[in-house]
Amino acid sequence: MPRFEPHPHRRPALIAGASSGIGAATAVLLAAAGHPVALGARRADRCEELAETIRKDGGEALAHPLDVSDSGSVARFVSAAASALGDPEIVVSGAGDLGAERVHELDSEDFAAQLQVHLVGAHRLVSHVVPGMVARARGDVVLVSSDVVRAPRTRMGAYVAAKNGVEGMARALQMELEGTGVRASVVRPGPTMTGMGMGWDAETTGEVLQEWVRWGLARHPYFLRPDDVAAVIAAVVATPRGTHLTLVEVQPEAAVTRPAAAEPAAVSGGEGEGEG
């Protein structure tokens, strides 16, 4: 007998932050793998557009408004998803945006607001979904973090604090869930081309990039695409039961550079050469 029953063929997935970027790409990949997906975000119209596309492609999808900073909104999203698609087997927490303020210039209420979305919002999803997973003795929780945990970036102090909190919470959650059949995983993307930060003006963007270069945080100009990170999330939840990918960091690969072709050695016609 196997140590663990295999994953069900059909695994309903809840995706927070599904209106764009990594969340939207993850929804498409999981739906293509045969899993029903519940798409949640404040921009519910975009979620509905994506859900319609998924359904046209033969997938099963539900769009529902979701504000992870509001406990009532999270409860309604989870309830609607379970009623329409079945008990959740997968939850992906990736909602949020970020500002570009320095820590000492950021209003404390704005600082707390970012923690409410990135950290407390992730906990709201966990608290509403994981008890049911534990009762069923299976499930996957994926918390989308950031490489700012390993290498903090300037002008992102609230985001850095929130993602450190997410990973700390995840480590405690992993310990508490050990032996329950439920896996909690952290996916930690590096620089990714999403909508986050796209609201910055050109001057702010230039200042931020210059600071990152000065601190050695921009080795090359390549960014991950949302599909790249989504592929990792899909792989994490598809890992056979009995294997737990606790932390996966994803970084953009630099462009391939090839050494210049070596010049052919010069052939000398010196005196005596070639004589027997």
Q: How far is CA 8 from CA 70, 138, 183, 240, in A?
A: 31, 10, 15, 11
> In terms of Cα–Cα distance, which of 8, 26, 10 is closest to 18?
26
Rounded CA gap, 136 and 183, in Å? 13
| Residue 64, strand partner residues | 40
Decide if 30 contacts 90 (C-beta within 8 A). yes
Q: What is the CA radius of gyration of the chain?
A: 23
The DSSP 8-state label assigned to residue 104 in this structure reads G
Per annotation, catalytic residue among 64, 159, 166, 169: 159
Neighbour-count burial for 108-127, b at 16+ CB within 10 Å, e otherwise: eeebeebbbbbbbbbbbbbe
Rounded CA gap, 230 and 114, in Å? 23
Decide if 121 contacts 168 (C-beta within 8 A). no
| Residue 192, strand partner residues | 224
8-187-75 Cα angle (round to 5) = 65
Query: Is 222 a residue of the active site?
Result: no
Residue holding tokens 């408004």?
65
Q: Which amino acid is at 208?
A: V
Catalytic residue list: 159
